[in-house]
Amino acid sequence: ATPTALLVGTGRAAQLGILIKGPQVLESTRTIDTVVLDKTGTVTTGQMQVSAVEPAAGVDAGELRLVAASLEHASEHPIARAIAALADPAPVESFASHTGFGVTGTVGGRAALIGRPLWLREHGVEVPSGPAPDGTTVAVAWDGRWRGTITVSDPVKPTSAQAVSDLRALGLEPVLLTGDSAAVAHAVAAQVGIDRVVADVTPADKLRVVRDLQAEGRAVAMVGDGVNDAAALAAADLGIAMGTGTDVAIQASDLTLVKGDLATAVDAVRLSRATLRTIK
Ligand code: ADP
Ligand code: MG
């Protein structure tokens, strides 16, 4: 009877838009007490809009747009998709993507970097720290010098706040985890009702946060969509991928939410609890 009930649960899950790697996944869902949520593309839409392009003194805005758009053309990060739309791309040589940090490559002879300001500083670029921005800022540099800053904004999904409150009602503590700045992370957390925030993390830190919570004795679900989430998704007791996210995230997870909607994560927890009650 047990396998049958699990199979029925799996079929019901598919109808709800939840793809499960195997019937045993429903069992691990039962013990979860903490849910770690990636910000970009999970709690927010990931459909970034460029809100400001600010060239450094003496830099032409058109040149800044061209270099940034060309580099981001080859990246699949949500930030990249917004910035790539700023100009028709020029060819890029020696392109490289540095997951969770940014991208590098040579555009028309300019050896360029674009990504989180801290990462550019680690590469010896002097990036001025401006006033707390109203959005996520990425810094652009070429030939060793800071050339400007681009700000992108990313709205919270309309269903996220309700989903967070439902997860809490099911006894799960939500934690927001992001590579983005603390300022942006806290603004999003306030909008959806999350108290615990870990920001400015690298993909390796994301894995560590999951492991630390497990070391505290928690059973952790991690919800994410990016390449940067894959290691944390695989380490979590229950890895949940957004179906709208990257293949790497989906492959690393136990369960995929086809529509990329957090409300379906709530359905998944409810369904597994109901299925396991049937078995007992
Ligand atoms: P999140 O954890 O919210 O999904 P990421 O770990 O993917 O965020 O990215 C963290 C930060 O790294 C971003 O806020 C951005 O500053 C920078 N970054 C990552 N990828 C890119 C990219 N392709 N272009 C520019 N900046 C990037
Ligand atoms: Mg993400």
- The whole-number average pLDDT for the span 9-14 is 83
- The whole-number average pLDDT for the span 66-95 is 95
Q: Strands 238-242 and 255-257, how do they pair?
A: parallel
- State the pLDDT at residue 280: 54
- State the pLDDT at residue 132: 64
Say which range, 7-11, 35-39, 168-172, has the weakest mean pLDDT. 7-11
Q: Would you say residue 99 has pLDDT above 80? A: yes
pLDDT higher at 190 or 77: 190
Give the tokens for residue 224. Answer: 């994410």
Q: Would you say residue 111 has pLDDT above 90? A: yes
Catalytic residue list contains 166: no
- The whole-number average pLDDT for the span 65-76 is 95
Mark the residues whose beta carbon lies below 5 A from ion ligand 2: 38, 40-41, 225-226
| pLDDT interval class at 130 (50, 70, 90) | confident
- The whole-number average pLDDT for the span 22-44 is 89
ipTM exceeding 0.85?
yes
- State the pLDDT at residue 133: 67
Domain(s) of CATH 3.40.1110.10: residues in the chain: 49-153
Nearest residue to 41 (alpha-carbon basis) of 229, 280, 231, 273: 229
Closest ligand 1 atom to 202 CA = 6
- Cα of 263 from ligand 2 centre, angstroms: 17
- State the pLDDT at residue 240: 96
Domain(s) of CATH 3.40.50.1000: residues in the chain: 2-45+155-279
Distance of alpha carbon 92 from alpha carbon 111, whole angstroms: 10
Ligand 1 pocket, Cβ-based, cut-off 6 angstroms? 38-40, 72, 75, 77, 79-80, 100-103, 114-116, 136, 138, 178-180, 226, 228
- State the pLDDT at residue 12: 84
- Cα of 28 from ligand 1 centre, angstroms: 30
Ligand that lies nearest to the alpha carbon of residue 76, given by its number in the listed order? 1
- Cα of 57 from ligand 2 centre, angstroms: 33
Say which range, 9-18, 167-176, 190-199, has the weakest mean pLDDT. 9-18
Three-point CA angle 202, 197, 170, nearest 5°: 120
Q: What is the pLDDT of residues 196-248, one digit of tens each?
A: 999 999 999 999 999 999 999 999 999 999 999 999 999 999 999 999 999 99
Q: Would you say residue 190 has pLDDT above 90? A: yes
| pLDDT interval class at 28 (50, 70, 90) | confident
Whether domain 2-45+155-279 has CATH 3.30.830.10: no
Scanning the chain, the segments in alpha helix (DSSP H) are 2-15, 24-31, 61-72, 78-84, 117-122, 160-169, 182-192, 203-215, 230-235, 247-252, 263-279
- State the pLDDT at residue 215: 98
Ligand 1 pocket mutation, candidates 101, 125, 229, criterion most atoms within 8 A of CB = 101
- The whole-number average pLDDT for the span 118-133 is 88
Q: Would you say residue 1 has pLDDT above 60? A: no
- Cα of 177 from ligand 2 centre, angstroms: 9
Contacts of 190 (CB under 8 A, 6+ apart): none
pTM, two decimals, is 0.88
| pLDDT interval class at 4 (50, 70, 90) | confident
Whether domain 49-153 has CATH 3.40.1110.10: yes
